[in-house]
Amino acid sequence: MPQTRALVVGMEKSGLASIQLLVSQGAAVRATDLRPLSQLQEAEATLNRLNVPFTQQPTTHHPSPITAFESPDLIVISPGVPADLPALQAARAGGVRVIGEVELAAPFLLGRTIGITGTNGKTTTTALVGHILRESGMAAQVGGNIGTPVTAMIDTSRPDQWNVLELSSFQLETIADFHADIAVALNVTQNHLDRHHTFANYAAAKGRLFETQRAGAFAVLNAEDATCVGYASLTAGSPLWFSSTRAVTPGIWLAGDKIWFDGELLMDAREIPIRGRHNIEDTMAAAAAARLAGAPLASIAAAVRTFKAVEHRLEFVRNLNGVDFYNDSKATSVDATLKALDAFSGGLWVILGGKDKGLDYTALRAPLAAKAHAALLIGAAAPKIADELRGAVPLERSETLENAVRFAYAHAHPGDTVLLAPACASFDQFSSYEHRGQVFKSLVQQLEPAH
């Protein structure tokens, strides 16, 4: 059998994990990225160790990954590489298989899989499912878009174990054989339109998680989200619903302060240790997935009570002179910021801005007018946000995160909350939303108490 000739495009964590898997399977591998190897220290060390040649792409005239490797049999793209690049379209037309890292991992991953997608809440829900399963005495490992690439989970996968995967639209748009035994859709609202171009394309990319399911699988779906409801018609699995407004069958729902699972009381929602109504919904989705995986209701409730908030997701940082500071750097869409605002009753100083993703910020006008003293604008998107919020809330053009934190603290009164919930990507001033959140927390910790 001839040796597979593979090209891996994009040298972040998932690209490097893909290279290691391909090399271990005997493929002839080449690597490419828009950046020079001198800017990719981890990649350089990995490629040298594995003896994988690297070609930097030209940044003009539609960079073509095909130039790095004439006539590959397989191209594996990292999540950050748009699947509709002209060079990739041309490769497909020429019969080349173009897949992502999740699809590459699929044939090698042992055990059953829980796949979790949605615009907001993926990370919290994925971490919570893993926590519930482990606390229930069930073997589980967590990865995907959260922490560990799926290809890097293969060596630690076992037949009796659950693989709990956070999956983004970027990862899902290229799957074919990958399938989830339990698939979860939390919500689908406008996001990544700079990449997917239309909401329909974005929703369809997430829908691949359900289209690839097989008979006997389960789909946990938000009964109050029209796009999620639509996914029920795509799956060969059985739908199970969750709702924060009404009873759903089969399913899990909120009635008053009580969470019910198919008519049995699961727990009081006030016992959930992470704040915000959206976190009640995420908890219900996680509980449903864990129940379908075999966790008992009592174990699920006990595990939820001991869950700690995910870093950078409505994370309490500090109270200083009566002012609370919350880090929601992972709120990289307008809808995520709306959910963050909903978790507070008022007295907010809200830090907004970063790299625009083609979103409409006018939806923030009413909640900011009702709850915020001011919006502090940072980053490249600040002028657009200012245009769309003008007149609804006082605006402060802070430009940098440091200026915003200092301004908010100088003007806040006891009982107020300073909230980083940017509604934007981080890549104008930071390397990632994690980097942005870490900088925010560091700035807050450096503030001096007033005397």
Residues tagged active-site? 122, 145, 192
SS3 314: coil
Q: What angle do CA 78, 12, 379 make, to 5 degrees?
A: 95
SS3 240: strand
Q: What is the 3-state secondary structure (H, E, C) of 166-232?
A: ECCHHHHCCCCCCCCCEEEECCCCCCCHHHHCCHHHHHHHHHHHHHCCCCCCEEEEECCCHHHHHHC
- What is the dihedral sign for C-alpha 58, 60, 64, 70? negative
Outline where 77-150 has alpha helix (H).
86-93, 101-105, 122-135
- What is the dihedral sign for C-alpha 101, 115, 179, 135? positive
Whole-angstrom distance, CA of residue 150 vs CA of residue 139: 17
Give the residue among 124, 162, 448, 46 at the shortest CA–CA distance from 312. 124
Structure tokens at 439: 């900088």
SS3 289: helix
Contact 210, 219 (CB under 8 A): yes
Beta bridge partners of 268: 258
Specify the residue for token string 């001033």.
429
- Bridge-based pairing of strands 162-166 and 395-399 is unpaired
